[in-house]
Amino acid sequence: MLWFYTIISVIIVSLISLVGVFTLSFDQKKLYKILIYLVSFSAGTLMGDAFIHLIPEAFENSQNTVKISFSILGGILVFFLIEKIIRWRHCHEEPCVDHPHPFSYVILFGDSIHNFLDGVIIAGSFLASIPLGIATTVAVVFHEIPQEIGDFASLVYAGFSRAKALFFNFITALSAVLGAMVILSINLNPANLTSFLVPFAAGGFIYIAGTDLIPELHKHNEAKKGILQVIMFVLGIGLMLGMLMFE
């Protein structure tokens, strides 16, 4: 029963990644008009997730501040190197209009780590008790909805078709299943894994929001658009703050 409840829970969480299917009926031109605001929303959710959820959780579970700080910096450094490698292999000439923006692949990598963590956390909760596992799953679902909307919008903005963005968003979401299976298969104490991965993921999210998404927002300098971008950014942070009620 433990396996059944856990796998069903992480599959439900993975299906949240398909939230972008609701945009398939949107007119293409209208969708692209609102994408930049959803990118701003995504940047807010990533920053909010890092500073409101992940980093406080890391410090709550460990008193080793130096280890946590280096894990955050490690996340930033690894994501920096990954994007460098993607840019080197992706296109050797500028501009490169025939391919998606390289930051789309960095987003997918970061989302994979985040979803793997979700699977680890859910499985660890079910190992403690089934009621705790169910409560954790509900919290993760509410936590995932705003982030998956933002991730989908960012992928489409970066050049993916809506169908391709949905597909890859779902594939990365399945890493939650992998994370849960790792914990259940070897009966690993989740704390041993999350003590490093949680601040590492925070560093990755800070890097994506700060170096990839926010600079894209500065390419649109109209006052009205800028105000709406700030509102969406704050809304993304606000939703992550609101998620504290479900923890």
Domain contains 1: no
Domain contains 134: yes
Number of folded domains that form the chain: 1
Distance CA 143, CA 73 (A): 24
Domain contains 214: yes
pLDDT tens digits for range 199-237: 888 888 898 889 878 888 888 778 888 999 999 999 989
Domain contains 2: no
Distance CA 125, CA 4 (A): 14
Better-predicted residue by pLDDT, 157 or 74: 74
Q: Which of 193, 208, 217 is nearest to 76 (CA)?
A: 208
Mean of the pLDDT values across residues 165-192? 84
For the question of whether the overall pTM of this predicted structure is more than 0.85, the answer is no
Domain contains 181: yes
Range of the domain at 242: 28-246
Q: What is the pLDDT of residue 93?
A: 43
- Residue 63 contacts by C-beta under 8 Å, 6 or more apart in sequence? none
Tally Cβ neighbours within 10 Å of residue 56. 14
pLDDT(60) > 90: no
Peptide bond into 215 cis (omega under 30): no
Q: How far is CA 119 from CA 14, 17, 22, 135, 197, in A?
A: 9, 14, 25, 14, 12
Q: What is the pLDDT of residue 189?
A: 67
Sign of the alpha-carbon torsion through 150, 151, 156, 158? positive
Give the up-direction half-sphere exposure of residue 45: CA atoms within 13 A in the CB hemisphere: 25
Q: What is the pLDDT of residue 228?
A: 93
Give the up-direction half-sphere exposure of residue 195: CA atoms within 13 A in the CB hemisphere: 12
Q: What is the pLDDT of residue 96?
A: 46
Q: How far is CA 104 from CA 87, 211, 214, in A?
A: 11, 12, 14
Contact 127, 221 (CB under 8 A): no
Q: Which residue has the tokens 């009620």?
A: 245
